[in-house]
Amino acid sequence: MKKSRPGVVLTAICERQRVEEFETIIFEETPTFGIRRQLVRRAKLSRSHEAVETRFGTLRMKVGRRRGQVVTAAPEYEDCVSAAAEKNTPLRVVMDAAVKAWHESRSG
């Protein structure tokens, strides 16, 4: 920070109409004398859900597409948490099984 002093960077993301509200909170709750702000845009993939069968039951995969092409897929967290608890299995094992089943369903 200024004069090589240590400092903290606080990042807050909010809707444009709430900037004043957030600035007020930051000024009142921190020792800062200044705030830098910038407009940020977000690009999003279109999303859909696909069900996959695993040894832990049916789990939903969230599939992200850009221009109609699949870019990424991730297991639905809540589905995996429920299955992991029900089967007394680590969450990571359930999530990995969902990803594997989804990839297998697309290749075969």
Handedness of CA 86, 92, 93, 97 (dihedral sign): positive
Would you list the domain boundaries of the chain?
A: 46-107
Q: What does the pLDDT read at residue 1?
A: 74
Please, is 8 exposed, middle or buried when counting C-beta atoms within 10 Å of its C-beta (0-12, 13-18, 19+)? exposed
Type of residue found at 21: E
Helix (H) or strand (E) holding 58: strand 57-66
What are the tens digits of pLDDT across the range 83-108?
999 999 999 999 999 999 999 998 86
Q: What is the pLDDT of residues 14-71, one digit of tens each?
A: 999 999 999 999 999 999 999 999 999 999 999 999 999 999 999 999 999 999 999 9
- Report the distance separating Cα 39 and Cα 2, nearest Å: 24
Contact 19, 38 (CB under 8 A): no
8 pLDDT higher than 90? no
- At the fourth CATH level, the homologous superfamily of domain 46-107 is mk0293 like domain (3.10.20.300)
